[in-house]
Amino acid sequence: MTIGHVTANGHAQIQIVVEDSNEGTHDVEALLDTGFNGALALPAQRIASLGLKRRGQVTAVLASGEEHNVPTYRATVRIGGTRHSVVVAEAGESLVGMGLLWGSDLRIQCIDGGQVDLERLS
């Protein structure tokens, strides 16, 4: 199933659906980040607009080696036709990490406008 596309600057941008605290659904565009082992990161403003409840915090280690304590939340998301309950980390931009994609076959056409496809493995 096609879940996104590759942008002109080489980013894999994908579409997910996030449920808010009232079970309403919201389309969210996020960058695919294979260096992020969590499931989903969203900006604070987006988390607030979804009404997500704070769960705790984690220590995030950035690619630079810097460590930051970041708030976490719980949300239900849909990607590639599958529904998941995930931990959401607060971040500066919307990111989908390997935790949400685990158990899937991910294919990226690494060209401008290329498809990003996801298939669940049995």
Q: Is 43 left (phi over 0), alpha (psi -120 to 50) or beta?
A: beta
pLDDT tens digits, residue range 69-113? 999 999 999 998 899 999 999 999 999 999 999 999 999 999 999
Number of domains the chain is built from: 1
- CATH number for 53: 2.40.70.10
pLDDT tens digits, residue range 1-20? 999 999 999 999 999 999 99
Position 58 in a domain: yes
Confidence of residue 63 (pLDDT cuts 50, 70, 90): confident
Position 68 in a domain: yes
Position 67 in a domain: yes
Mapping DSSP to helix (H, G, I), strand (E, B) and coil, where does residue 116 land? strand
The Cα–Cα gap between 103 and 105 comes to 7
Position 35 in a domain: yes
Residue ranges making up the domain that contains 25: 15-103
Position 98 in a domain: yes
> Global pTM?
0.92
